[in-house]
Amino acid sequence: MLDDEQRLTTLILAVSVDGPENLQKMVDRISMEDGIPPDFPLLSDPDHRVIDRYGLFNAEDPRGREITHAATFVIDREGVVRWRFVEVDYKVRPTNDDILAVLNGLQ
């Protein structure tokens, strides 16, 4: 998703309540579907300490599963959230173009 210049100044991280084993399954699935693994770290937060700091834990999940609200944050080098997208429906996500437009606007 990032060009060479953006790779020097931008760090992408994914945080999930899933444990390492389930995250590896996700990496395997993405690798199979896309032909390459994700080129960013998938971090496990099973106690949702980080997730709770952003208010993203969905304790009301009707299926009784531990799940978070789908969210994307753009955070600058000073730790200021410059853009966020939060959605209850985990299937609804911003496009790569949406995120790139925000990143380009920060430069």
Look up the CATH number of the domain holding residue 58: 3.40.30.10
pLDDT tens readout for residues 5-33? 888 888 888 888 889 999 999 999 999 99
Low-confidence ranges of the chain (pLDDT < 70): 60-66, 107
**pLDDT score, position 83:** 92
**Structural domain for 13, as ranges:** 4-106
Q: What is the DSSP letter of 74?
A: E
**pLDDT score, position 66:** 63
Count of domains forming the chain: 1
Residue 57: what are its φ and ψ, rounded to 5°? -75, 130
**pLDDT score, position 67:** 73
How is residue 27 written in tokens? 């990496």
Instruction: Provide the whole-model pTM.
Output: 0.76
